[in-house]
Homo-oligomer: A and B are copies of this chain.
Amino acid sequence: MTKIEQIHVKESLLKVNDFVARELRERFTSQGSYVVNLLSSPGAGKTSLLEASLPALAEDYRVLVFEGDLETQLDAQRIRNAGIDALQITTGGACHLEAHQILQAFDALSPEEPYDFIFIENVGNLVCPASYDLGEHLRVVLLSVPEGQDKPPKYPAAFRGAQAMALTKIDVLDYFDFDPDEAERLAREIQPDIDVLRLSAKTGDGIPTWLEFLRQRREERLAAR
């Protein structure tokens, strides 16, 4: 019999999360749902980006948002006001979403008419959500111009686990000491393959590129089924 000397609770919880996430990703893939996990600091513009871009996407696709929040429904309501389906997941104070919550949300959906795109807006937090795979196909970290370009080395896990970085609020570049090229360079020091998009939800700059990026990524992924 093996003698177990120590149990690391957090490690085993993360392993369970990863099992659930892997299973979820298979289910999403097999029903043709492409899932995007959005991760950022509070106020970096996750909801604004979705409001500014999903109505155009919804002209061609069935689109749903899972809204992760500590306790309010404010963001889900904003998404619904933009004409997009939204399902609120409140964490009751916890600092991140976990795969089992997404599984529960998945089970609440109709399997007959699956959504083509599902966006998961994680709790606003640049630390904890980075450790939790939610079964997504694409993880996008948002970095807003007012936050400063030093965030990739300061919060490396959030950038290391992302396939794309959205530099948001680029309309206010003139008013902040923020060099987007340097932000890109710092992000690529952490994650060399990261795709970078420069976006403004306010002016619409970069939104067509963002939508084309999502469409292509979905097709590539679902073609590989």
Q: Which residues of A contact B (CB under 8 A)?
A: 9, 41-43, 69-72, 74-75, 93, 95, 123-128, 144-148, 150-151, 153-157, 169, 172, 175-176
In the complex, residue of chain B having the shortest beta-carbon distance to the beta carbon of A154: B72
12 pairs across A/B with beta carbons < 8 Å? A41-B41, A41-B126, A42-B155, A43-B144, A70-B154, A72-B153, A95-B125, A124-B154, A125-B127, A146-B147, A146-B172, A172-B176
Chain B residues in 8 Å Cβ range of A126 = 41-42, 124-125
Cβ of A154 and Cβ of B41 under 8 Å apart? no
* Known pairs A148-B43, A151-B43, A175-B172; A70 contacts B124 (CB<8 A): no
Option from B42, B147, B150, B155 in Cβ contact (under 8 Å) with A70: B155
In the complex, residue of chain B having the shortest beta-carbon distance to the beta carbon of A157: B93
Nearest CB of B to A130, in Å: 9
Copies of this chain in the oligomer: 2
CA distance A157 to B42 in the complex (A): 14
Nearest CB of B to A192, in Å: 19
* Known pairs A124-B41, A172-B175; A154 contacts B74 (CB<8 A): yes
Option from B128, B146, B154 in Cβ contact (under 8 Å) with A144: B146
In the complex, residue of chain B having the shortest beta-carbon distance to the beta carbon of A123: B127
**Of A9, A42, A145, A175, most B-chain CB atoms within 10 Å:** A42
